[in-house]
Structure 1
């Protein structure tokens, strides 16, 4: 404190005073988070995680730490009068809430974007030091507050694993023709996927002037439309392209799998789970792969739906679900556009489980009562309630998760396990990796949802993994 007080007066004195006041009640970090949230990707995730950590650190420091560890603040006379705050805080000095908030926000942001964390670190350090410079905290208060903030930010990983940009692994190369400027590529563009103002049609036509571009016909089945188009262009199409959300991509992928054509996937939807797992972020990624003829073989999920009117088959690239899961996923993705993924999932689960009706099923010969059933194409991570990514696309397995309804207070126990991140030991939630699954509905017919699209009614559903059923263009390591 004496060393800091002895620093000669400079223009930094009023600057640090303004900085420390701007950080009161976390206002500085809220403003920064608002700016970061305007950008998609790591910046927005950093803002969301930063605010969660900020709230946790503020509560811990101000409502727990200060009352339990009272400490007198430095006397006003310790620092020169020009540095003193007009309104000095009266709460306990230990630990520093400003330092805790700054460290929490910066550390949380760094978990999502190390580069952004490095840019924010000097600002966080300046906020923390400003409390000593203005004479309202001891250096040890700053150290304790900063340590607390870092710990709270790191603790968010327990419930909310940081997003990874690493693409999913596959060891199956695929033969695909090298196609320049979209030649021989029949491309489906859904302008209603993602932001309607960002119709990718013009960009695709500019980059692929030789491609044939079609739009989904309103009210028509896209698979049928695409199959008819292929029949009319027999021998002229060597690859299928698709720009749209996961539902559109799944429809085109199913036709590609049936016809043996490679798929050129263009990320143009809202969430783009399938494209993210493949490591495709932009149209340029897909263009580089098609020009080089780089492709990989990936697994697809298949479900046979048996009803009173016969049996139909559907492919799925991401997930299939029965019971409350379709509604939960729809709600989560709607809420997630404005809020972080983990809180969005909790809100969606609570709303869905309140209205859910249990399913009586026979699952691989075992009679069960379940609230919801989730089947993922491939094994998802993490193994908790939020399956967010696939480390590999060639496992030959399905990720099966279900919530039991035949145990006392199963919904309450499930939500408690979610909050405490103890689903792995829960007796009401089951996760298994299987090559195939047979599910019979014992109380009528239910609709299945595949890749976010509601499918047909059925009373028996046979799921299985189809290894390397689809060839997809993806840049090789050198290209990417």
Structure 2
């Protein structure tokens, strides 16, 4: 499983923060009930339980529905607790409602303090910047809504002495051939201003020839740039690495011989990547994934082998170049460092609708496998399966083999850069219970095989 400190290693203060969160919730419920008297208490309890049932049902319909019904369900989930608050106020319990809301806020603060994991250690090691003579940069003027033009990246790079190749057609441009020709002409530094898919392609060539690689955050999401600590708001700042930079040595993922810098996705994940809307609205397209995940994916039957464990029939598998946070099931967050020398793997195997809803609400970990391993193999009952590789939709021959090349890529970054932001803890109810009561409530990790249907 993904590394989680044993309970003996967890500081006692974190346990007390977790217990404090539960105590605050109990007090938040008890305050209005104590003020209402016996008859009022019965009415308030019935009203509160009704609101909880309505909210849970609404959340369920939000997760399994699409279109207008989904947003009606979301509105109902929000309105139900608001109606309860109004009824409590009308019953003359305004002061108690305010106190209860304050206690809920305290509970959230305590929960975040309890769930905040210790740091990953020191930042990635920095090395002296290489001396370069011929920098070759690939720039996609259409990427990121036109950031190359907006930030005048071509002119600024050329003023620093770099050669720039614009991917402006008129037809498709073979980036692989273009970059390899530049290396043959003596390029001793490669770089990309574009999306993560293009970054991965050129990064693989840079690693192959042991050349430094420059990341310019001109894509739409720039996940790789974020995890390198680069400025995603102003990609021109990445060019500062050409005059005052340092070198980082980061891992590279490989999938059937192809390089990836972020992740490769299978099953429902991969089908989401096929959507034309994925590039512009990743979160929205993941929402489109939820109904299929909950109701049961109808595509090829997958089989994932991760670190000696086989998961048979998962609806979705995500393999990442280094693990994401333990609460990130869709690769939407970040990685604290890129030099850990292992792949991260997430497999979702919801055996029932109830299990899938609980998993997505982070109220259970049953049906979830998270591990790190140097190799992940994904097989299927068909010869080819769709795979999303750094946001690119591909078809790959099975079995698909993912491996890691530790510290294979020399990345040139500015000496002065924003840095990797600290991780913010998610509200993981299972983990909070473990911390508070001193026992693990999750299903034991499988020792050999795990089946989605068992």
TM-score, length basis structure 2: 0.63
Aligned to 1:230: 183
Gap change, CA 1:477 and 1:207, over 3 Å in 2:
closer
Aligned to 1:323: 267
Deviation, structure 1 residue 269: 1.1
1:61-460 pair list within 5 angstroms: 62-68=82-88, 70-72=90-92, 94-95=93-94, 140=95, 143-144=98-99, 147=102, 150=105, 170-174=123-127, 176-178=129-131, 184-196=134-146, 199=149, 202-209=152-159, 210-216=161-167, 217=169, 218-231=171-184, 233=185, 235=186, 237-281=187-231, 282-304=234-256, 313-329=257-273, 334=278, 337=281, 341=283, 345-351=286-292, 356-361=298-303, 363=305, 366=310, 368-387=312-331, 388-404=333-349, 407=351, 409=352, 412-419=354-361, 421-423=362-364, 425-426=365-366, 428-460=367-399
Which of 1 and 2 has greater Rg? 1
Deviation, structure 1 residue 404: 2.6
Q: 2 CA distance for matches of 1:458 and 1:153?
A: 46
SS in 1 for 2:243: helix
Gap change, CA 1:328 and 1:170, over 3 Å in 2:
farther
Gap change, CA 1:167 and 1:417, over 3 Å in 2:
closer
Give the unaligned 5+ runs of structure 1.
Answer: 1-52, 73-93, 96-139, 305-312
CA contact 2:273–2:388 (8 Å) conserved in 1: no
SS in 1 for 2:144: coil
CA contact 2:318–2:330 (8 Å) conserved in 1: no
RMSD value, Cα: 3.8
Matched, 1:462 2:407: no
Gap change, CA 1:413 and 1:475, over 3 Å in 2:
same
CA contact 1:401–1:431 (8 Å) conserved in 2: yes
Q: 2 CA distance for matches of 1:466 and 1:477?
A: 27
Gap change, CA 1:438 and 1:335, over 3 Å in 2:
closer
Give the unaligned 5+ runs of structure 2.
Answer: 1-73, 420-454
Gap change, CA 1:476 and 1:204, over 3 Å in 2:
same
Q: Output one character per residue of 1:117-166: Cα deviation in whole Å (capped at 9) or x when no partner.
A: xxxxxxxxxxxxxxxxxxxxxxx4784376268469769979xx99xxx9
CA contact 2:138–2:166 (8 Å) conserved in 1: yes
SS in 2 for 1:240: strand
SS in 2 for 1:274: helix
Higher relative contact order (CA 8 A, sep 6+): 2
Equivalent pairs, count: 334
TM-score, length basis structure 1: 0.60
